[in-house]
Chain A
């Protein structure tokens, strides 16, 4: 670790002031589960480290038109939140499978999004939910979708003077369901080898009115799969329909990462992960 000046802003305003001054010369630390490793390995050598973990005003979970999640919520906080569990079961399923209890106690959802790892846990699910991000700086506020935000790997649209303050998800009704399925190499402390998250909105006659199908750890960031989405639209919400779509998942993975050694695994495993999502949605819709 190189020497740096350490700042601990107590509020958002103070943090934004520091970011406005130090910009690229600084690194933000929330939970530290990614940044501290990069500092130790000298992959980052900032002159200033801004530790935002004391900004308690970013730990809220609120609901109005959206479900609003303050960026400093840890995975453990989200895991324990009964309301998140009831309203956003796929997000709950995501956070309980992040790392280990120790990592979940420190790691934050905001940090996970900004870190923009190819194998990040929550961005895949947030993209399926149609999540948006609120970015603030001394100059004002920007809101963008996860799709727009991701550039990956390790890159995203955040500017050096900006702070991610909120992740928000549009309110879902009973006819909308989301599933999430992660494959890791072991049962805990495993990074995402492959993840699938699927959102489905059904019509009154039980057809797929809208859907978002997202693959994690396949492309350089979580990616929508228009081919599958198009094939599903207007079809009945039924297990056999979902089963019939599985070969498309394989084809997309094959096409996307044709030359990588892991394609041998991912093109087959993606069907199991996708079917895991579909089963959760069927269960949400009480069709299981």
Chain B
């Protein structure tokens, strides 16, 4: 009984019309409060842009970074945002793979955090550059400078990892949005129609499209996981590759990944709570979602504590003078206050809240998550700054204090992130409508006599039948639609219907039985690994051949060094899989297609369209009758003119 009630707590027990109404409302209706919020965010974000321009014109001297603390707030923010970006894809990909149904209202909020946190985080290495305007020199392309990037540099690994992750997570976010954009398109008027018509790529909701979409998402969920892990590992290697005391550590990879997921879930919970409040999504983001994510957060909090303990114990026990200087400055010196604040924020406050069921409410998890977000920022700061203040030679020690420029830019990007998120929630239903409905199939209706079906709708005009390209009916539920399909297939020879002429469209993926036929066969799952192999080979070619062509030695390393080349190959392997999946999806789902094709807006209202393309003129009347007999609410004709 208890398990049953938990299951019930996750179920969103609303009518489809209600769901569409609730979730599309923010796209169509903009309140004054919304404009005020956007104005407020822009007002707080703009000074950041001016501060950045000021920094570019005056030089980095306006920032607080100095010798020997060459990295400060910017790199802290970089690591922080890339960490936050692990909210979406990881959680949503894992939950998709294990088919956890409660994920459905959560995935899109999470994936959007990933994309925007990445977009913001990736700005920081550029803001941080002494000559920002030359950042593109990290991009591998044959240039007039006769030189390629140094594939042994962790910053180049960063470029590859973040580009791959950004491509992957944008794909992961956008693919399931296409049907929802089609839904917006069918309801919009004026300029919105034109915008969403382009965005929806001509999506109609045929079984083929649904199948390819779900296949692409399945492949992407598998591909995105190793990419996400590699991204924060490589970010950690920015530090671990340098022989700086307390940086040069093998634990950094997993430690950073754990911290990233930790802060990512915390950010997701805060974002979900805000969306719930502001967009009135109480019926969708339920306490049970916060409860589930709270448990996940609890596990990550313990894992984080484990890592930080393991890291610090090793340093303390090793007792190397160079490391101990940085260690003690964090533990007892100038940074002790920040360190203990971090322990409070990341463990002492959230642990009891998340561990005690009574406290693991929406308010409880939000409090815990807010402290964790702050605590994780401090953690990144404590990784970046104190070791640089205490490098190997004591006379090179120094201290760092941020200036208003760094603080303004930090605030600016925080508001920029929120602004992007707020705008996104305006253009896209923030909860995936079709996936939400997929979670709870309508109970099959008992077979009804056809007489009860109303025949409202279009009057059939037989005189025009010479120019008819299709005849279709709109069915209220999948049972009647399936009967119609079965009838057409059974009598295909008599009604002169070619098998591929039967057209089906729906606003959610239909069960396979009775609907899909040849649509279920696609080489996509085979092409993705093939693309991956090609990507990996391309990665080797890129890294190895360019370095042999311009053999510039660095750091006593071989010209083509195995380990760094492996990293480039890894990222391009994943990029190959992602790229192939995008391309094979578009080709095999036959998107985008903006031509005039058989379609009816009622499809995104929940009706199921069953039609016959190019009907034989003599049989069209019988086809129409058949559609009506099987339960079509409306029967219409479509012509291409």
Q: Indicate whether A and B interact.
A: no
Interface residues of B (CB under 8 A from A): none
